[in-house]
Amino acid sequence: MKILVTVKRIPDPDESLKFADGGVDYSSSKWVPNAFDEYAVETALRLAEVAGSKDRLAEVIVMSVCPQGQRQHVTQFLAMGADRGVVVDADDSTLDSIAISKLIAEVARREEVDLVIAGKLSQDNEGNQIPQRVGGLLDWPQACFAAEIRREKDARELTVSREVDDGVEIKKVPLPAVLSVDLRVVLPTSVSNGVTAADHRYQEGARLASLRGITMAKRKKVQIFTPDELGVQNSGSETTRAINPPPTRPSGQMVASAEELVEKLKTEAKVL
Protein backbone atom coordinates (compact mmCIF):
# COMPACT_ATOMS: atom_id res chain seq x y z
CA MET A 1 0.00 0.00 0.00
CA LYS A 2 1.11 3.55 -0.70
CA ILE A 3 -0.03 6.53 1.40
CA LEU A 4 0.41 10.14 0.29
CA VAL A 5 0.30 12.71 3.10
CA THR A 6 -0.05 16.40 2.28
CA VAL A 7 1.92 18.77 4.50
CA LYS A 8 2.30 22.51 4.71
CA ARG A 9 4.50 25.02 6.51
CA ILE A 10 2.72 27.90 8.18
CA PRO A 11 3.82 31.07 9.99
CA ASP A 12 4.11 30.29 13.71
CA PRO A 13 0.51 30.60 14.98
CA ASP A 14 1.75 31.90 18.34
CA GLU A 15 3.43 34.95 16.77
CA SER A 16 1.39 38.10 16.36
CA LEU A 17 0.50 39.20 12.82
CA LYS A 18 2.08 42.25 11.19
CA PHE A 19 -0.43 44.06 9.01
CA ALA A 20 0.98 46.11 6.12
CA ASP A 21 -0.43 47.51 2.87
CA GLY A 22 -3.75 45.67 3.03
CA GLY A 23 -2.06 42.37 3.76
CA VAL A 24 0.02 40.52 6.32
CA ASP A 25 3.81 40.77 6.30
CA TYR A 26 5.26 37.29 6.87
CA SER A 27 8.83 38.24 5.88
CA SER A 28 10.20 37.85 9.39
CA SER A 29 7.91 34.98 10.45
CA LYS A 30 9.19 31.76 11.91
CA TRP A 31 7.79 28.87 9.85
CA VAL A 32 6.50 25.72 11.49
CA PRO A 33 4.66 22.61 10.28
CA ASN A 34 0.85 22.85 10.34
CA ALA A 35 -0.34 20.96 13.46
CA PHE A 36 -3.07 19.02 11.62
CA ASP A 37 -0.45 17.84 9.10
CA GLU A 38 1.63 16.44 11.95
CA TYR A 39 -1.49 14.47 12.92
CA ALA A 40 -1.89 13.33 9.29
CA VAL A 41 1.70 12.03 9.15
CA GLU A 42 1.25 10.34 12.55
CA THR A 43 -1.94 8.69 11.23
CA ALA A 44 -0.15 7.43 8.12
CA LEU A 45 2.72 6.02 10.18
CA ARG A 46 0.32 4.21 12.52
CA LEU A 47 -1.42 2.67 9.50
CA ALA A 48 1.90 1.76 7.88
CA GLU A 49 3.98 0.35 10.70
CA VAL A 50 3.80 -2.78 12.78
CA ALA A 51 4.52 -1.44 16.26
CA GLY A 52 7.48 -3.20 17.85
CA SER A 53 8.77 -4.59 14.56
CA LYS A 54 10.58 -3.28 11.48
CA ASP A 55 7.85 -4.59 9.15
CA ARG A 56 5.93 -2.02 7.14
CA LEU A 57 2.50 -2.43 5.60
CA ALA A 58 2.73 0.69 3.48
CA GLU A 59 5.08 3.27 2.05
CA VAL A 60 4.47 6.80 3.37
CA ILE A 61 5.19 9.69 0.99
CA VAL A 62 4.95 13.27 2.28
CA MET A 63 4.12 15.93 -0.27
CA SER A 64 4.36 19.69 0.03
CA VAL A 65 3.90 22.68 -2.26
CA CYS A 66 6.61 25.14 -1.20
CA PRO A 67 9.75 26.83 -2.47
CA GLN A 68 12.26 23.97 -2.73
CA GLY A 69 14.83 25.85 -0.65
CA GLN A 70 12.31 26.10 2.22
CA ARG A 71 11.37 22.51 2.81
CA GLN A 72 12.62 22.02 6.36
CA HIS A 73 9.14 20.84 7.32
CA VAL A 74 9.41 18.02 4.75
CA THR A 75 12.75 16.97 6.25
CA GLN A 76 11.12 17.09 9.68
CA PHE A 77 8.37 14.69 8.57
CA LEU A 78 10.94 12.38 6.97
CA ALA A 79 12.73 12.41 10.33
CA MET A 80 9.43 11.42 12.01
CA GLY A 81 9.41 8.32 9.83
CA ALA A 82 7.94 9.03 6.39
CA ASP A 83 9.79 7.12 3.65
CA ARG A 84 10.29 9.79 1.00
CA GLY A 85 9.15 13.22 -0.11
CA VAL A 86 7.66 15.01 -3.09
CA VAL A 87 8.04 18.79 -3.29
CA VAL A 88 6.26 20.94 -5.84
CA ASP A 89 8.58 23.91 -6.15
CA ALA A 90 6.36 27.00 -6.06
CA ASP A 91 5.51 29.92 -3.81
CA ASP A 92 2.38 28.36 -2.33
CA SER A 93 1.07 31.76 -1.24
CA THR A 94 0.55 32.60 -4.94
CA LEU A 95 -1.45 29.45 -5.71
CA ASP A 96 -5.16 29.12 -4.96
CA SER A 97 -7.02 26.13 -3.50
CA ILE A 98 -8.05 24.92 -6.95
CA ALA A 99 -4.44 24.75 -8.16
CA ILE A 100 -3.07 23.17 -4.96
CA SER A 101 -5.77 20.46 -5.11
CA LYS A 102 -4.90 19.68 -8.74
CA LEU A 103 -1.20 19.36 -7.87
CA ILE A 104 -2.02 16.89 -5.09
CA ALA A 105 -4.42 14.90 -7.30
CA GLU A 106 -1.81 14.70 -10.07
CA VAL A 107 0.90 13.44 -7.71
CA ALA A 108 -1.57 10.88 -6.28
CA ARG A 109 -2.27 9.65 -9.83
CA ARG A 110 1.38 9.44 -10.86
CA GLU A 111 2.36 7.65 -7.67
CA GLU A 112 -0.70 5.39 -7.90
CA VAL A 113 -1.31 5.78 -4.17
CA ASP A 114 -4.05 3.92 -2.31
CA LEU A 115 -4.74 6.61 0.24
CA VAL A 116 -4.34 10.38 0.56
CA ILE A 117 -4.29 11.71 4.13
CA ALA A 118 -4.51 15.43 4.86
CA GLY A 119 -5.02 17.55 7.96
CA LYS A 120 -8.53 18.93 8.41
CA LEU A 121 -7.36 22.48 7.81
CA SER A 122 -4.27 24.65 7.82
CA GLN A 123 -4.06 26.90 10.84
CA ASP A 124 -3.19 29.92 8.68
CA ASN A 125 -5.56 29.80 5.70
CA GLU A 126 -8.31 27.74 7.38
CA GLY A 127 -9.86 26.80 4.04
CA ASN A 128 -10.91 23.27 5.06
CA GLN A 129 -11.42 22.31 1.42
CA ILE A 130 -8.30 20.78 -0.17
CA PRO A 131 -8.87 17.09 0.77
CA GLN A 132 -12.54 17.24 -0.28
CA ARG A 133 -11.49 18.77 -3.61
CA VAL A 134 -8.86 16.08 -4.12
CA GLY A 135 -11.55 13.44 -3.52
CA GLY A 136 -13.68 15.04 -6.20
CA LEU A 137 -10.83 15.43 -8.70
CA LEU A 138 -9.77 11.80 -8.30
CA ASP A 139 -13.40 10.58 -8.16
CA TRP A 140 -12.47 8.68 -5.00
CA PRO A 141 -14.58 8.36 -1.83
CA GLN A 142 -13.66 10.60 1.10
CA ALA A 143 -13.87 10.54 4.88
CA CYS A 144 -13.35 13.98 6.36
CA PHE A 145 -12.77 15.06 9.98
CA ALA A 146 -11.63 11.55 10.93
CA ALA A 147 -11.24 10.88 14.66
CA GLU A 148 -10.73 7.09 14.48
CA ILE A 149 -9.53 4.85 11.65
CA ARG A 150 -9.69 1.04 11.64
CA ARG A 151 -8.29 -1.28 9.00
CA GLU A 152 -8.57 -5.05 9.11
CA LYS A 153 -5.46 -6.97 8.05
CA ASP A 154 -4.92 -6.55 4.28
CA ALA A 155 -8.41 -5.06 3.83
CA ARG A 156 -9.12 -2.78 0.89
CA GLU A 157 -11.41 -0.63 3.02
CA LEU A 158 -11.23 1.55 6.12
CA THR A 159 -13.80 2.14 8.84
CA VAL A 160 -13.63 5.79 9.83
CA SER A 161 -15.33 7.60 12.74
CA ARG A 162 -15.96 11.18 11.66
CA GLU A 163 -16.65 14.18 13.87
CA VAL A 164 -19.97 15.63 12.73
CA ASP A 165 -22.12 18.43 14.18
CA ASP A 166 -24.36 16.27 16.31
CA GLY A 167 -21.99 13.45 17.22
CA VAL A 168 -19.94 10.81 15.43
CA GLU A 169 -20.63 9.19 12.06
CA ILE A 170 -19.10 5.82 11.22
CA LYS A 171 -18.33 5.50 7.53
CA LYS A 172 -16.81 2.58 5.61
CA VAL A 173 -14.74 3.71 2.63
CA PRO A 174 -13.22 1.44 0.00
CA LEU A 175 -9.66 2.20 -1.17
CA PRO A 176 -8.41 4.21 -2.91
CA ALA A 177 -9.76 7.06 -0.78
CA VAL A 178 -9.04 10.49 0.67
CA LEU A 179 -9.06 11.20 4.42
CA SER A 180 -8.87 14.42 6.38
CA VAL A 181 -8.00 14.06 10.05
CA ASP A 182 -9.23 15.88 13.13
CA LEU A 183 -7.22 16.20 16.30
CA ARG A 184 -8.63 13.21 18.20
CA VAL A 185 -7.02 10.91 15.60
CA VAL A 186 -3.78 11.12 17.60
CA LEU A 187 -5.20 9.73 20.85
CA PRO A 188 -3.35 6.54 21.91
CA THR A 189 -5.74 4.00 20.33
CA SER A 190 -7.41 6.01 17.54
CA VAL A 191 -5.74 4.25 14.60
CA SER A 192 -5.46 0.50 14.11
CA ASN A 193 -4.16 -1.36 11.07
CA GLY A 194 -5.15 -4.96 11.86
CA VAL A 195 -1.56 -6.09 12.36
CA THR A 196 -0.17 -3.99 15.23
CA ALA A 197 -1.37 -5.60 18.48
CA ALA A 198 -4.91 -4.50 19.24
CA ASP A 199 -3.99 -3.40 22.77
CA HIS A 200 -1.01 -1.30 21.63
CA ARG A 201 -1.14 2.24 22.97
CA TYR A 202 0.65 4.99 21.11
CA GLN A 203 1.91 8.19 22.70
CA GLU A 204 -0.69 10.96 22.76
CA GLY A 205 -0.15 13.37 19.89
CA ALA A 206 2.30 13.19 17.02
CA ARG A 207 5.64 11.45 17.70
CA LEU A 208 8.90 13.35 17.96
CA ALA A 209 11.70 12.57 15.54
CA SER A 210 14.43 10.35 16.99
CA LEU A 211 18.11 11.20 16.55
CA ARG A 212 18.41 8.23 14.22
CA GLY A 213 15.39 9.52 12.29
CA ILE A 214 17.00 12.92 11.90
CA THR A 215 20.19 11.36 10.50
CA MET A 216 18.23 9.07 8.19
CA ALA A 217 16.04 11.94 6.91
CA LYS A 218 18.98 13.55 5.12
CA ARG A 219 19.44 10.39 3.05
CA LYS A 220 15.79 9.95 2.09
CA LYS A 221 14.77 10.77 -1.46
CA VAL A 222 12.87 13.99 -2.20
CA GLN A 223 11.60 14.36 -5.74
CA ILE A 224 11.08 17.91 -7.02
CA PHE A 225 8.43 18.93 -9.57
CA THR A 226 7.32 22.28 -10.90
CA PRO A 227 3.59 23.05 -11.35
CA ASP A 228 4.27 23.13 -15.13
CA GLU A 229 5.68 19.61 -15.08
CA LEU A 230 2.46 18.48 -13.39
CA GLY A 231 0.38 20.39 -15.94
CA VAL A 232 -1.25 22.73 -13.41
CA GLN A 233 -1.79 26.48 -13.71
CA ASN A 234 -3.30 28.86 -11.19
CA SER A 235 -7.04 29.15 -11.77
CA GLY A 236 -7.22 32.90 -11.26
CA SER A 237 -10.81 32.60 -10.03
CA GLU A 238 -10.03 33.44 -6.39
CA THR A 239 -8.66 36.91 -5.65
CA THR A 240 -7.65 38.24 -2.26
CA ARG A 241 -8.77 41.87 -2.14
CA ALA A 242 -7.45 42.71 1.30
CA ILE A 243 -6.46 41.26 4.66
CA ASN A 244 -7.39 43.39 7.66
CA PRO A 245 -7.18 43.09 11.42
CA PRO A 246 -10.52 42.20 13.03
CA PRO A 247 -12.31 44.91 15.00
CA THR A 248 -10.99 44.91 18.57
CA ARG A 249 -13.31 44.17 21.44
CA PRO A 250 -13.74 47.07 23.80
CA SER A 251 -11.74 46.27 26.91
CA GLY A 252 -13.69 44.76 29.74
CA GLN A 253 -13.54 45.20 33.49
CA MET A 254 -12.30 43.12 36.37
CA VAL A 255 -14.76 42.50 39.15
CA ALA A 256 -13.75 41.91 42.75
CA SER A 257 -16.25 39.26 43.77
CA ALA A 258 -18.90 36.82 42.64
CA GLU A 259 -21.48 39.23 44.09
CA GLU A 260 -20.26 42.11 41.92
CA LEU A 261 -20.14 39.82 38.87
CA VAL A 262 -23.71 38.58 39.18
CA GLU A 263 -24.98 42.08 40.00
CA LYS A 264 -23.35 43.49 36.85
CA LEU A 265 -24.56 40.62 34.68
CA LYS A 266 -28.06 41.42 35.94
CA THR A 267 -28.16 45.20 35.85
CA GLU A 268 -25.42 46.26 33.41
CA ALA A 269 -25.12 43.50 30.79
CA LYS A 270 -28.76 42.45 31.38
CA VAL A 271 -28.04 38.83 30.51
CA LEU A 272 -29.61 37.13 33.53
Q: Which of residues 199-218 bind other proteins (CB under 8 A)?
A: 204
Determine, following the binding rule CB under 8 A, whether residue 246 of this chain makes contact with other proteins: yes
Q: Which of 2, 84, 184, 220 binds other proteins (CB under 8 A)?
A: 184
Buried-state track 210-242, b at ≥16 Cβ within 10 A, e below 16: eeebeeebeebebeebebeebebeeeeeeeeee
Segment near other proteins (CB under 8 A), from 13-21, 59-67, 77-85, 215-223?
Answer: 13-21
Number of other CB atoms surrounding residue 248 within 10 Å: 6
CA 135 vs CA 104, 126, 138, 160: distances in Å: 10, 18, 5, 16
Q: Which of 20, 197, 224, 261 binds other proteins (CB under 8 A)?
A: 261
Q: Which of residues 215-244 bind other proteins (CB under 8 A)?
A: 235-244
Contact code string over 89-128 relative to other proteins, x by CB under 8 A: -------xxx--x------------------x--xxxxxx
Determine, following the binding rule CB under 8 A, whether residue 20 of this chain makes contact with other proteins: no
Query: Least CB distance from residue 182 to other proteins, whole Å?
Result: 7
The smaller minimum CB distance to other proteins, of residues 224 and 255, is found at 255
204: left (phi over 0), alpha (psi -120 to 50) or beta: beta
Determine, following the binding rule CB under 8 A, whether residue 140 of this chain makes contact with other proteins: yes
Q: Pairing between strand 142-150 and 191-192?
A: parallel
Q: Answer for the pair 45, 60: CB distance below 8 angstroms, yes or no.
A: yes
